[in-house]
Structure 1
Amino acid sequence: MSSAALPQRALVVGCGLIGTSIALALTARGCRVHLRDADPSVAEVAASVGAGTVDPVEDPELVVVATPPSVVPDTVLALLAEFPDAVVTDVASVKRPVAAAVAGTPGERRFVGGHPMAGTERSGPTAGSALLFEGRPWAVVASSQSDETAVESVRALVVALDAVPLVMDAEEHDAAVALVSHVPHVISVLTAGLLVGAPRDHLDLAGPGLRDVTRIAGSPTGMWLQILDSNAGPVRELLAALRLDLDRVLDALDDGGEVLAGRLSDVLDAGRAGTRRIPGKHGEERAEGALVLVPVADRPGALSALMADIGESGVNIEDFRINHEYGRPVGLAQIEVAADRADHLTSSLTERGWPAYR
């Protein structure tokens, strides 16, 4: 827990999903939040949902920049000059451009970059939520010149919003998000693009795997153009490595048979190994789990009844998802539990009338 206290007055510049969510969370914790947006009507909407006030602010202790990525560096510089006593942070998903812009300026000591790894498929101030950051990683990106009190102020913000601060420098951050966010988005978009001209009866065969791969492809194009341009170097390096593996797959498919198996085994095994490296619940090492599958009627109260019966079984849920069946008003609940508890949960739910299976 940071020893720094939350500010009494803050300015949030940019009232989209992230900015409004930060403002809502700060307001809920007793901070007086002032809102500003390039479109004043957007700030008015954010104020109308309880995120703060559009009244002018003279001396904020903290300024949060949540503007589109392309204008973050200039906006940060302008705000450092406008409020010479304030700590300034941002939430852009790429950190090197703003770090380079601030380097060597009088305000460098008061700037600490930030990036919450949180969001939804919705956008705009009405999508904001004070709970958006709970349990989510939040990169705190300080430079060697950042004042320690400024770093502690940003850490205090992160902790107060129930997020998890991860301190790193700008170059390390941008390499990390290229790997865990930007390249996966490109792959998702490329896969979804294949669907545009596909026959409808082919799409009728789609299952949860396709939905998993393409879910994030629906994010706004304009924002992603800015992100990929800002982080082009690390993204290109990873995509070039991926292209080599894709060429190996293509060559193996041309050869087929035993040659295919020999060439593709390493690729497939590496993918399996990679999934095991993704942190599990609470950021812990991913534990071996098992799935219990339960068909659930698509009607009010059915899912809550299932959850109540899982609770009665005494088995803890590690992860949960539901996929709706094709052509039937039924969802298939996929309940991940510790491997040694799956049989017990299956039996317990069966005894309570659920058609559970593994």
Structure 2
Amino acid sequence: MIRCNDVQEQAQDLTEAFFEQWRNVLSTGDFILGEEVTRFETWLSGRCNGAQIVSMNSGTDALILAMRAVGVRAGDEVITCANTFIATVGAIVAVGAYPVLADVEEDELISLQTIEPVLSDRTKAVVTVHLRGRPVDMVPITAACRARDIAVIEDCAQAIGTLIEGRQVGTFGDAAAFSFHPLKTLGGLGDGGALVTTSTKIAEYVRGLRNHGLRSRDEAFGFGLNTRLDALQAAALNIKTHYLDLWLQRRRAIATYYDAVLADTTTGSDLGRGKAGSAYYHYVVRSHRRNELQQYLAHKGIQTAVHYPTPIHCQRAWLASRSAVSLPVTERLAKEILTLPCHPHLSDSDVEKIAVAIRDFDLK
């Protein structure tokens, strides 16, 4: 089976390097924060144009603390999209705010045009999701929000390596949340995340909140969380950072091949349509016969996935407590999208086999 992700292969390739690095951590006893965490934060700052980094144990916690840092409080409205992982909306709910869902464009991304109809006097923040590693058009969104005194938080969980005019996303809004879950392009061997911000005030506030709200061992300025990045996970991530650019290069090469070979099929190429700066965390096509295509590819030994089959406003979690929402583009795309394998462990023959199978299905 050609797998849709490469979590196991990647971990096996680097096993000895992980063990060696972990032995170093064990010998120092530096288990909470410490040198490995500092190294990783320094590296990520370099990737993010010198922005300040506060590492955490998940991207979800980074979203929660980002909202607390920009002043989102109970009863405020926060706008985001519904075709994202449940954590995006879950973080809004976790701070007591009310999630307001905007529709998306045909490229699956939120835009100023889809946000504007749901803006209100109660809007406190907008969470833009760089879905699948595709860059949201941040400049008009941030300009419009700043003119209204609305905070902008970037959900970059899938967007390490995603660029806007050569600049890493996550540095356009007031704060951003990155995830280093094992499935991510840069993933640990467990949970991990980071808040990125160009604001010293936000960074200092969140740095305290991630560590119980402590200023020192015995002095707390507020009630925070225990959401520090584990030193062993940081050590694993520090090894993987050396390979990230090669992995991103391979993903983009595979996407370029798919674009060329699938362009004239009914399935077509990635919904991002070769959007500049994409990191291709997912390569997603659409088909009116999506389920049939997925079954056909499985029969050919090709694993695919649907991210995400049920938009958040159609989930029981939403319907049990929120008003019904109509998002026509989001709903239509959810019935047609299919994620193809697009990761560094695919061989050229694997990629060719996938493309040939889709073209063969097109002729059925």
Structure index of larger Rg: 1
Specify which structure has the higher proportion of helix. 1
TM-score (norm 1): 0.32
Q: Which has the higher contact order (CA 8 A, sep 6+)?
A: 2
TM-score (norm 2): 0.32
